[in-house]
Structure formats: structure tokens, C-alpha cells
Chain A
């Protein structure tokens, strides 16, 4: 491996891959049983964090940034004047193994620009994974990108070596996709996704009968949407997200605030702010859907098409549904406890366990770690002190905002000034 050439390629191809936000390395089941290298069981590990606060868990690179497509939102689009480079299969293998041996990473996340054709590109990605597994005895985590339009045979092979597969739908609506990526069709994204989904279902069924069935993408598949590039509202975004969770059994949908990289008039201009707060609110909604028992239509619907920026989506839901409160923490079921603003699932389980021993009061709840600033208006406990005034939603919101500081204060006050 020539150090200087690899060094230059790594700089270019890591830089081009960084807009893919997925970095998860958890949820696989690949134990080190052969005295080989690596072990991908149980929880993921973030080995480092970049200065933007994102986790570095995988070596996230493109195989090449040569691309035949010209998608407006993408930094490696054909018409963009950037330096191009391409790794050889062996170079990626060497980098992965040597980084892994030094405990820098959990594994490899390999994506690629599309050169020649979808299948030609996918074949190269599969070749890297195959070599790592078969020649290097590598049991670490491998995340491969499914190239839109790749054939079923290649997707099947990819699933045999990779832990996770993902294909980014990028733009939440079909109309937006047509506008920004005229070369691409929604069907091309869906095709590999369907194949992987069916293979996983088949694997799970076969494993019950034959224990030695070779693993197929044990960490499932995921996708990503760009936020704020094509004018969708939060309702449309979360509906698409919900559709993909329900119909394609996705493990995760990622939301990526658009980072302006182009002077294209169809897109937000360079220098405009990355919508990080909005991205955060979308993730909170995603969590409410997946872990807190909310249906997406409770949070976003025809009447309420955008998430509030100044309060989190659960608090916003609670303020619109005051008739459901107050909740008695000593008797309520898990579903209702999870709906109290300021209570995370960890606190919910702690409360359910702790109240078996004695009735809980404000002191107990505070020590357990409940965010009482928000929660106090929505619950009662073993105490005669609770919110007795008949407060309006606006009043409650006002009290809560008065007593809290948001890390997004700057963004928020700019927006509030418009109405002030």
C-alpha cells in the first residue's frame, strides 16, 4: 500500500461520504467463534466524535466519487467540479483491518458513486465485503450501500456478507425527487429494498428449521432523507417515514438536515443555515413513534402539519390534549406514563419498579431523574401539592419556556422576532 496515494484518496473519499448520517454499529449478531478478528454482537460503540458532535463508529468512505448521475443535492454529482478518486478493493480491506486492529472503528461503511452501471458498482462493494469475511476472517460490522437498480442476485450476495444494507431515498416525496434528481426513479430505490426485506423474512423463517442457515443482513436495513432541500412539510416527511417503517421493516430512518453545497437555484443557497433544530424535532417524533407508543397521526396530521420548534413534540401533543391529564404516576399504566412530557422511557421503567415498594412523591421523582419543570403540570403523585389552577395551554407553555434554556436559543429568537 503506497502511503501517500492512500492518504490522498482517503481524504477525498471520506470527505465525500460524510453526508451519510448513519453510523450505527449495533444490533448485529456476528460472534467471533473462529478465533478471527472482530466481534459484532450487542451494542454499538462510538470510538470517537467529530467536532460537529457526530459519532465516529465506522470507517465511512466511498469506493469512488466518480458518478454518472447528476442529482442536485449531492456533492459528487457529475457536473460538480471536484477532485475524483477511486480505491482499489485491497486498499479498502487493508484500511479497515488496520483501523480495526487499533480499536479505531467498529467496522466499515462502504458506499459509492455510480460508475458504469448499478450492477458493476454493487459488484465491487460486494467484493470488498467478501474479501473481508473470507480472506481476513473479519467479524466486525459491515454496512454496505444498496445501489439503486442493483440486481436481486447481487443484493442477495451482499446480504450474506454485510450486517446492514441501506438505500437512501433522499427526497421525501416523488415530486421533489423528479425535480432534483431527474435521472433517478423511486422504483429503483425500492427494488433492492424489497429484495432485502424478503430475504430477511425468508432467513428468519428458515433459521427456525435449520439453525445453520447463513446469516442475512442481521442488523437489517435503513434509509435516509434529506430535510429542507425540497420544501416538504414535517407531516409529509413523517408520513413517508412511517410508510417505510411499516412496509419495508426498516430498522432506522435517518433525517439529514441539508448542508448547502451548490449554487443550484432549485436548492437553498450556500451560506444558509443547516436546519439542525428541525432535524432534532423530527428525530424526537421518530422516537415517539418507535418507542413511546404514539401513532404518527397523533403528532402530525392535516390540521397540524409542522412540528413546533420552541417545544418538543411530546409536550406539544400534551398541550393540545390537556383532557388526558393529569396522570397519577402511582397508578397509571406504562402507555400513559410514557405520554407525560419530561418522562423518558428509562424514568418510566424506574417509576413502575419503584412504586411497587411505596407510593412515590415529588422528592422521589426528582431523585429518579424526572424533568419536573415540564412534568409537574401533567401529573399528580403522593402529595397534596400539585397544579390546581385551571391553566390554559398557552399559560403552561409560557411557564415551561420561562424556566428553561434551549441550546437553540439563537435560532429560536430569530424566528420569534418575525412575530414580535
Chain B
């Protein structure tokens, strides 16, 4: 049997449909790739997977029955990492889980399980960082707007947190790397895409778009940030470990005056 390369549409349901196909066809040598990152293998045959919600749900239900709730959310977190090759790790994990009677998600000496747990941990860390580093800016039309550029696709994971917390204000969180965002209209959160003016600088607060008081509160926040530092305890290494430099550009307190 030749090796197969299954290509799915990049969604979680698409990936689960591919897993369904692997089990249905009893495929032995197989890789799964998103259509956005396809690399042609030398000796493998490509096959495009049609996303089928019913099949995806069957696989997900099976996974949930085979793992603890922590195990199944780790799978989803690891999927959102979008790391190259993560689909094959996930497949290995899922096949191992279905082959055992015991729940295997705590089997940390199994290579795929430890690896997935580690990837899920870094996705979880980034989720938590985004909950911390989102900085809303009040626009002229009274919407609190924030742009982010996370390493992993964590927007679906942070939606609930912000919906619960900012129930009485309209807000947008926009992932400019993946070009989609979430908009909360005081009732529901919707996924949306926006067109920004050309050369729009996300690091600057432009008075054509943002409310006047926005500048004052940013200034107050910067002042507060400076005043609360203890100079004689300065420790830049620790500072950078907590806020890696790649996050600085959208943090108002880290902007040069």
C-alpha cells in the first residue's frame, strides 16, 4: 500500500474528518496536512478530505469517551498551535488512545502524549498571556478595540473570558496575523473580518479613529507603570522573561514617549 497524504481545510472538524478517514480505510502509513501548509512527499499520494461535521462529531465523541476532559482539551489546544506536523502527532495520540482500555492521557512517558501535553501547555500559556496583554483602546464610535498577533491561534480560546468580563461594553479583538477577529455587541460574540486603511499602524493611536480621552488614559497608565517600578530592584532579565519582547509593540506601557 502506498503512503497517503490527507489534505484537510485547516479547521478542527476537517482534521477530525481526516482522522475518521484513517480509521475507516484502515490506513497504515499516512500523514495529515492542512491545505495551507501542504508539502509534497516524494512517495506519497495526496487525497483531499471533505469536511463532514457528522463524522467529525463521531470522532470527537469517541475521543472524549477515551480520554479525561483534560486530555481532550489538550488535543484541541495542541491543534490550535498550528505547528507543522502536529496533526501527525495528534493522530498517533488518538490511535494509541483507541488501542488501549485505560485512559492514556496521563501516560507521560509515551513520547506523543508528553509532546502533546507540552504543546498544549505552551498554547495555554499564550492564551493566558493574551488575556493579560490585550489592550483595549476606545474608538470614536464607542467600541473598545484591540489588535493582537499571537504565535498560536488562541482567539477561540479567549472569547469566553472576555465575554464574561466585559459584558457591558462593546469590544473587538482582532488577530492581525490571521486576519480575523471577534466582535461583541453586548449580546453575542461574532467572528468577523475587517478592512483596515492602507498603511494603518496598529502600534499608534491615531486621533482620526480613537476617542480623545483615550490619549489621557494611556498617559496615566504609562505614568502609573513607571511610578510603580522600584529602581533599586531592577532586573531586566526577569522582566523580559515575563513579557517577551515580541509582545511589546502593542503594549501601551512599553511604548517610547
Question: B108–A368 contact, CB under 8 A?
Answer: yes
Q: Is the CB of B230 within 8 A of A101?
A: no
Residues of A near B132 (CB, < 8 A) are: 45-48
Instruction: Check if B220 sits within 8 Å of A95, measured CB to CB.
Output: yes
B52-60, B83-91, B193-201, B221-229: which one contacts chain A?
A: B221-229
27 contacts between A and B (CB under 8 A): A7-B219, A10-B223, A11-B227, A17-B228, A18-B230, A32-B165, A32-B167, A36-B167, A37-B169, A38-B165, A45-B128, A46-B242, A48-B251, A49-B239, A49-B242, A49-B243, A50-B229, A50-B230, A56-B228, A102-B136, A102-B221, A104-B135, A104-B221, A260-B232, A353-B106, A357-B106, A360-B109
Interface residues of A in 393-407 (CB under 8 A from B): 407
Q: State which residues 194-245 of B face A: CB under 8 Å.
A: 213, 216-217, 219-221, 223-225, 227-239, 241-243
Is A350 part of the contact surface with B, judged by Cβ < 8 Å?
A: yes
Identity of the chain B residue whose Cβ is nearest the Cβ of A45 in the assembled complex: B132
Q: Please state if A52 and B220 are interface contacts (CB–CB under 8 Å).
A: no
> Does residue B9 face the partner (Cβ distance < 8 Å to A)?
no
B239/A53 in contact, CB under 8 A: yes
5 extra interchain contacts, Cβ-Cβ under 8 A, other than A99-B224, A356-B106?
Answer: A14-B227, A49-B242, A50-B229, A52-B230, A95-B220
Task: Give the shortest distance, in Å, between B82 (CB) and chain A (any CB).
Answer: 24
In chain A, residues 342-390, which have Cβ atoms closer than 8 Å to a Cβ of chain B?
350, 353-354, 356-358, 360, 364, 367-368
Are B239's CB and A11's CB within 8 A? no
> Are B131 and A51 in contact, with the CB atoms below 8 A?
no
Q: Does B107 contact A (CB under 8 A)?
A: yes
Contact status A103-B110, CB under 8 Å: no
Determine the chain B residues whose CB is within 8 A of the CB of A350 once the complex forms. 108
Once A and B bind, how many residue pairs between them come within 8 Å at the CB atom? Answer: 151
Q: Beta-carbon contacts of A20-48 to B below 8 Å, as 1s and 0s?
A: 00000000000110011111000001111
Q: Using a CB–CB distance below 8 Å, which chain B residues touch chain A? A: 102, 104, 106-110, 114, 128, 131-138, 144, 146, 164-169, 213, 216-217, 219-221, 223-225, 227-239, 241-243, 251, 253
A51 touches B229 (CB 8 A): yes
Q: Tell me if A337 counts as interface (CB < 8 A to partner B).
A: no
CB < 8 Å neighbour of B225 from A35, A50, A360: A50
Please name the 8 residue pairs, one residue from A and one from B, whose CB atoms are nearest each other, closest first: A53-B238, A353-B106, A52-B233, A14-B227, A354-B108, A49-B242, A50-B229, A364-B109
- Expressed in whole angstroms, the Cα–Cα distance for A98 and B230 within the complex equals 25
| Size of A's binding interface in residues, CB under 8 A | 55
Inter-chain CA distance A356–B238, complex, in Å, is 37
Report how far A257 CA is from B110 CA in the complex, Å.
44
Residues of A at under 8 Å CB distance from B?
3, 6-7, 10-11, 14-15, 17-19, 31-32, 35-39, 45-56, 59-60, 95, 98-99, 101-104, 137, 257, 259-260, 274, 276, 350, 353-354, 356-358, 360, 364, 367-368, 407
Cα–Cα distance between A146 and B49 once the two chains are bound (Å)? 63
Query: Which residues of A have CB within 8 Å of B133?
Result: 47-48
B121 to chain A, nearest CB (A): 10
Residues of A within 8 A of B106 (CB): 353-354, 356-357
In the complex, which residue of chain B has the Cβ closest to the Cβ of A276? Answer: B233
Closest A residue to B213 using CB positions: A98
Smallest Cβ-Cβ distance to B107: which chain A residue? A357
Chain A residues with CB below 8 A from B221, complex form? 99, 102, 104
**B213, B224, B231: which contacts A59 (Cβ < 8 A)?**
B224
Are A101 and B136 in contact, CB atoms less than 8 angstroms apart?
Answer: yes
Residues in chain A near residue B243, CB distance under 8 A: 48-49
Assembled-state Cα–Cα distance A32/B167 (Å): 8
**A357 and B109 within 8 A (CB):** yes
Which residues from chain A contact B230 at a C-beta distance below 8 Å? 18-19, 50, 52, 54, 259
Which residues from B are CB-within-8-Å of A59? 224
